[in-house]
């Protein structure tokens, strides 16, 4: 099947073509027509399309999110330095000619410089070979002018970046509202302009919300728009990065690391100035995510166990855990204002909802009318 270069003005079909006026396709219509492709002409893409194998695709959009101070920027810097050097990242391939990396430290401050200095002291060969560029300053990527300015400024450096890291989304939203789907759409459109104009991957650093079980903070339109979503969590001193969404790759990659302390100098009082670098380690089992209400209920249970918990002897009870009655736990939930409702039915509903959720997540166990924690 082929498409000719004309379109009927009245849509009555081929039989009326001679009688009707026709006009040539032009502009956007011509561009769309040129892109139409029959299914038999579609071929599989088998060439390498990765920037970081198993993690990042070329010319895509990703978001790295997690709680404040969890170690997001350390992860992003480590990834950026390896890609900028065309060096394998902890067992994951990077194209040898990947290209330079630009790190937009929109939050400013001296912390980013100290982190790079720590990386230089820890791995001087990597940092010495890395085409890694740092921009520290304000950038408004909600308005189109700064997106265009960033593209123009990058082009004057006579190189094509492979990766631009934007840290953080909140700092480049300008007058936009991260909770509004329309405003997220505007931000994404400007980020798309950057990555398409420069042919690079754009990584956005963002925060998780108060309820960490719901992922990145703000409108869900962000998750719908990105190609890759990486969550950063912490269990004790082990930090874990895990892909939660991949549009074109297999999901579920996990990288665990600790932050290794590095002394980078002394201050005017002679006290040491320190930062840290990423040190790979073995993954650990993640703790179940809790909603805000579930967290309140669990705290109420801990308080009830601390004040009224006791061992119960029996085959169905743990020998090394204190137990407390469900009634006592519910009393403590009421004291913690588990439910915002005033009625007894609202409080009862909130309690049983939390009890069932914590039980399903393996955090508590219930037998008869008693409850205990499954973990210390």
pLDDT in tens, 250-267: 899 999 999 999 999 998
Give the SS3 label for residue 21. coil
The structure tokens listed for 143 are 């308005």
The answer to whether 200 and 163 are in contact (CB under 8 A) is yes
The CATH architecture assigned to 292-373 reads Orthogonal Bundle (1.10)
**Quick check: 42 and 48 in contact, CB under 8 A?**
no
Query: Can you tell me the distance from the alpha carbon of 172 to that of 262, in angstroms, rounded to the nearest whole number?
Result: 30
Nearest partner of 74 among 253, 209, 239, 204, judged by Cα: 239
Which DSSP helix (H) or strand (E) runs through 101?
A: strand 101-105
What is the structure's pLDDT at 19? 45
Q: Measure the N-to-C terminal CA separation of the chain; round to a whole number of Å.
A: 68
Block residue for tokens 């071929």 = 43
pLDDT of residue 11: 46
Rounded to whole angstroms, what are the CA distances from 308 to 294, 295, 304, 317, 327? 21, 20, 6, 16, 12
Identify the pLDDT of residue 213.
63
CA–CA–CA angle 261, 262, 268 (5° rounding) = 115
pLDDT beneath 50: ranges in the chain: 1-13, 16-20
Count Cβ atoms below 10 Å from residue 276 Cβ, excluding itself: 18
Residue where the block lists tokens 């903070």: 217
What pLDDT does residue 368 have? 92
**pLDDT at residue number 1:** 42
CATH 3.10.20.600 fits 50-281, yes or no: no
pTM for this model (two decimals): 0.74
For the chain, what are the domain ranges?
A: 6-41, 50-281, 292-373
The three-class DSSP label of residue 144 is helix
Beta strand residue intervals within 109-219, DSSP E: 132-136, 163-167, 201-207
Residue 179 is predicted with a pLDDT of: 94
Q: What percent of the chain shows pLDDT beyond 90?
A: 69
Q: In 3D, which of 254, 180, 261 has the Cα closest to residue 220?
A: 180
């Amino acid at each position: 099947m082929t498409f000719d270069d004309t379109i009927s003005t009245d849509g009555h079909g081929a039989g009326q073509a001679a009688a009707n006026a026709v006009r040539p396709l032009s502009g956007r219509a011509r561009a769309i027509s040129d892109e139409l492709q029959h299914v038999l002409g579609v071929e599989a893409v088998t060439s390498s399309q990765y920037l970081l194998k198993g993690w990042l695709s070329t010319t895509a959009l990703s978001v790295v999110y997690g709680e404040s101070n969890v170690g997001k920027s350390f992860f992003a810097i480590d990834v950026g330095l390896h890609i900028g050097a065309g060096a394998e990242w902890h067992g994951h391939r990077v194209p040898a000619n990947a290209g330079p990396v630009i790190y937009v430290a929109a939050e400013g401050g001296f912390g980013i410089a100290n982190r790079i200095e720590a990386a230089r002291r820890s791995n001087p060969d990597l940092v010495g070979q890395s085409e890694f560029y740092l921009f520290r300053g304000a950038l408004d990527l909600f308005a189109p002018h700064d997106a265009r300015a960033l593209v123009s400024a990058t082009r004057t450096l006579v190189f094509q970046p492979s990766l631009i890291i934007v840290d953080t989304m909140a700092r480049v939203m300008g007058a936009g509202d991260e909770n509004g789907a329309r405003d997220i759409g505007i931000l994404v459109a400007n980020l798309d302009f950057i990555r398409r104009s420069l042919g690079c991957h754009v990584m956005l650093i963002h925060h998780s919300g108060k309820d960490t079980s719901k992922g990145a903070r703000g409108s869900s339109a962000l998750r719908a728009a990105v190609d890759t979503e990486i969550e950063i969590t912490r269990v004790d001193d082990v930090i874990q990065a895990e892909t939660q969404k991949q549009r074109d790759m297999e999901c579920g990659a996990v990288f665990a690391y600790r932050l290794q302390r590095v002394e980078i100098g002394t201050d005017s009082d002679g006290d040491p100035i320190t930062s840290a670098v990423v040190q790979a380690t073995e993954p650990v089992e993640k703790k179940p995510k809790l909603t805000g209400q579930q967290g309140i209920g669990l705290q109420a249970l801990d308080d009830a166990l601390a004040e009224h918990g006791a061992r119960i002897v029996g085959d169905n009870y743990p020998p090394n855990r204190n137990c407390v009655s469900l009634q006592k736990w519910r009393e403590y939930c009421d004291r913690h204002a588990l439910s915002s409702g005033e009625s007894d039915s609202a409080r009862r509903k909130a309690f049983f909802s939390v009890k069932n959720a914590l039980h399903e997540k393996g955090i508590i166990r219930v037998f008869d009318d008693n409850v205990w924690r499954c973990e210390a």
